[in-house]
Structure 1
Amino acid sequence: MTTIIQADNLHKSFPTTTAIDHISFEVFEGEVFGLLGPNGSGKTTLVRLLNGVLTPTSGRAYVFGKDVTTDGSWIRARTGVLTETPSLYERLTAKKNLSFFGRFYGITDSEIPKRTDEMLSLMHLSDRADEPVGGFSKGMKQRLAIARALMHDPPILFLDEPTSGLDPESSRQVEDIIQELASDEQKTIFLCTHNLSQAERLCSKVAMLNTGKILAEGSIQDLSRRLFSAVPVEMELLNEPSPAVIQAVRNTRGVTVDSVEGTTILFHVTDKELIPSIIRAVIQEGGDMFRIAPQDYSLEEIYFTVQRQGGMTV
């Protein structure tokens, strides 16, 4: 896989605070990479560093193999950035907003109409193209801001809290657009968010940032394996389990029963390979098996476990 963003011991301090504290990570081409952390954790500062807007205090960062310290202008011409509070000219129409920003990106006058129409169509705003943006809903403005960041067709898109303040329907529309950009347009998406459920749906890899430090990095599956020694399992029977069935599960080596709720037994097992022996034990005691399913740990569980532990090996 091709590395498209790389940070090496990157550090940024200001007179009264350290915003980014000697972090290292890499993002591969075509990934949806989630940078997770609360407000004030350093996410926005990191985006500015990676786009060459801020200069690192120490360490290095590369985008497309170019040094952000010396090649910021070259990098910014090839990245799209959506800030948490994007600015649009509300008296201008959607089409005129995109045309205006397109010229800043260096798109020729002959290309701007075509590119503007493509972006409005992608964001499902074609029917509102000639209306002033001031009358748009917040979700429509957010979609238009994404279109603005995409006008010059950048390979990388930095999104800072792209669904902040949106209602559930508008949030899902923006998430669908992000998925489409990654899967259909082959964009690399650098997503800054504190919305854990959103990151779980969208991201192939995440890094957890707090007080400028990366506490953990990896795919959700990889972080689960590194954090938890036991696998949660849900077993559902056709009828409520008898005491003998429950005891058979408890007596199986490597099993810890968490709860019995109606026809469902919830337990943890130290190894998935033990599940067939659990099934045999239940059937032997007369249990009518309907369904058994190992469960994945949610990103929320992973995130708060990492926070409690104060991090893990990156």
Structure 2
Amino acid sequence: MTKTFGDRIAVDDVSFSVARGEVFGFLGPNGAGKTTTVRILGTLIAPTSGSAVVAGIPLVPANEAEIRRRISIMPEAPGLYRRLTVTENLEYFARLYGLPGRQARIREALDAVDLGDRAQDLCGSLSKGLRQRVALARTLLNDPEVMFLDEPTSGLDPVAAHEVHGLINTLRQRGVTVFLTTHRLDEAERLCDRVAIMNTGLRTIGRPDELRHMLFSRSLAVTTAAPLGDPDRIFAGLPAVESWRDAGTPTAVPAGASAATPSGYVVAVSDPARAAPAVTRALVAAGADVLSITESRYSLEDVYLELVEDQEGAAR
């Protein structure tokens, strides 16, 4: 799928699939084409070329109304009428969908986001975080098969964000597909079955742990109380050890470290479970005071920065 605006390419030949009941993270810097992709899949704009299927329905003009009945979209801006109450806002949107049993649906949606006691408050009197929760309630009204959530926890305090995460997990269990656009990489790592990283084109897609292993070699982070006299003699030839490098003085020194300057080493390994015992024995045999040996951990943020910065560097 491709979308251009004049001479500018917003979405460049992007192809992917999302499974039913999956929480799918859509990540990328500002201007990467994330919102444009969501607007296409949400029937708001047409692609320049390519095709898509949403909720099992081909994305063509004749099917747009049926697709809209089966999906919901929560944009980053809540889009609520501030002079109407919470209930009046939800009633308005429920009528647009032509939904039966509107009052029951509204009560269920408000209970799901813990706003039942604010039902008669004017939306203009609510904080940004509470308005975000009203917008979430709106997306639940039509019991959608697919939900597009754009920054759903933006402006929420940690407790409210945790509640939204719980709601997303509940939707997953019900078989609802959640298409999540977020800049909070820790949130994506916690919630998403798979993530796609966009920067106009699709940079990569997969489970967070798959992407970490694809981009980063496995390694052990070793900290000793003082620099090793001959690290190459200690590390060379050990089982599952491929190479090592000096990491200098660690930024975080384990509690109980001596007054001497601690030293850190990164040991590239093929199998941490095999390498760690061998490295430990070799250090002890060499008389080193070992402060810590841990497997290096890379986050989704590390993956994101590696991919995006590599592309920006290539562009320059």
**Residue in structure 2 matched with residue 153 of structure 1 by the alignment:** 143
Give 1:285-304 correspondences, 5 Å limit.
285-286=286-287, 292-304=293-305
Q: Secondary structure at the match of 1:256?
A: strand
Which letter maps to 1:226? Answer: M
Partner residue of 1:186 out of 175, 188, 191: 175
**Residue in structure 2 matched with residue 3 of structure 1 by the alignment:** none
Q: CA deviation at 1:89?
A: 1.9
Tell me if the contact between 1:156 and 1:187 (Cα under 8 Å) persists in the aligned partners. yes
Q: Secondary structure at the match of 2:80?
A: coil
Q: CA deviation at 1:177?
A: 3.0
Q: CA deviation at 1:250?
A: 4.1
**Residue in structure 1 matched with residue 185 of structure 2 by the alignment:** 196
Give 1:14-93 correspondences, 5 Å limit.
14-70=5-61, 71-93=63-85
**Residue in structure 1 matched with residue 218 of structure 2 by the alignment:** 231
Q: CA deviation at 1:139?
A: 0.8
Tell me if the contact between 2:218 and 2:270 (Cα under 8 Å) persists in the aligned partners. yes
Alignment partners' CA distance in 2, 1:147 and 1:275: 49
Give 1:208-219 correspondences, 5 Å limit.
208-210=197-199, 212-219=200-207
Q: Secondary structure at the match of 2:169?
A: helix
Distance 1:287 1:106, change over 3 A: farther
Unmatched runs of 5 consecutive residues or more in structure 1: 1-9
Alignment partners' CA distance in 2, 1:266 and 1:187: 46
Q: CA deviation at 1:236?
A: 6.5
Alignment partners' CA distance in 2, 1:157 and 1:292: 43
Alignment partners' CA distance in 2, 1:78 and 1:225: 36
**Residue in structure 1 matched with residue 269 of structure 2 by the alignment:** 270
Distance 1:285 1:55, change over 3 A: same
Alignment partners' CA distance in 2, 1:306 and 1:249: 34
Q: CA deviation at 1:59?
A: 0.9
Tell me if the contact between 1:94 and 1:133 (Cα under 8 Å) persists in the aligned partners. yes
Alignment partners' CA distance in 1, 2:128 and 2:164: 11
Tell me if the contact between 1:80 and 1:150 (Cα under 8 Å) persists in the aligned partners. yes
Q: Secondary structure at the match of 1:276?
A: helix
Alignment partners' CA distance in 2, 1:62 and 1:197: 29
Partner residue of 1:98 out of 87, 90, 95: 90
Question: Which has the larger strand fraction?
Answer: 1
Distance 1:179 1:248, change over 3 A: farther
Alignment partners' CA distance in 1, 2:44 and 2:99: 22
Alignment partners' CA distance in 2, 1:284 and 1:45: 59
Q: CA deviation at 1:155?
A: 1.7
Which letter maps to 2:218? Answer: V
Partner residue of 1:243 out of 221, 224, 228: 228
**Residue in structure 1 matched with residue 131 of structure 2 by the alignment:** 141
**Residue in structure 1 matched with residue 306 of structure 2 by the alignment:** 305
**Residue in structure 2 matched with residue 125 of structure 1 by the alignment:** 115
Alignment partners' CA distance in 2, 1:157 and 1:53: 15
Q: CA deviation at 1:121?
A: 0.9
Distance 1:173 1:139, change over 3 A: farther
Which letter maps to 2:208? Answer: I
Tell me if the contact between 2:90 and 2:106 (Cα under 8 Å) persists in the aligned partners. yes
Q: CA deviation at 1:247?
A: 6.4
1:137-172 Cα offsets, whole Å, 9 max, x none, are 111110110110110111211011223344555444
Partner residue of 1:256 out of 238, 244, 268: 244
1:167-205 Cα offsets, whole Å, 9 max, x none, are 5554444334333333x4332111112222222222221
| TM-score of the aligned structures, taking structure 2 as reference length | 0.83
Q: CA deviation at 1:118?
A: 1.1
Alignment partners' CA distance in 2, 1:136 and 1:308: 39
Report the count of equivalent residues.
Answer: 295
Alignment partners' CA distance in 1, 2:184 and 2:171: 19
Distance 1:76 1:245, change over 3 A: farther
Q: CA deviation at 1:289?
A: 6.4
Q: CA deviation at 1:58?
A: 1.1
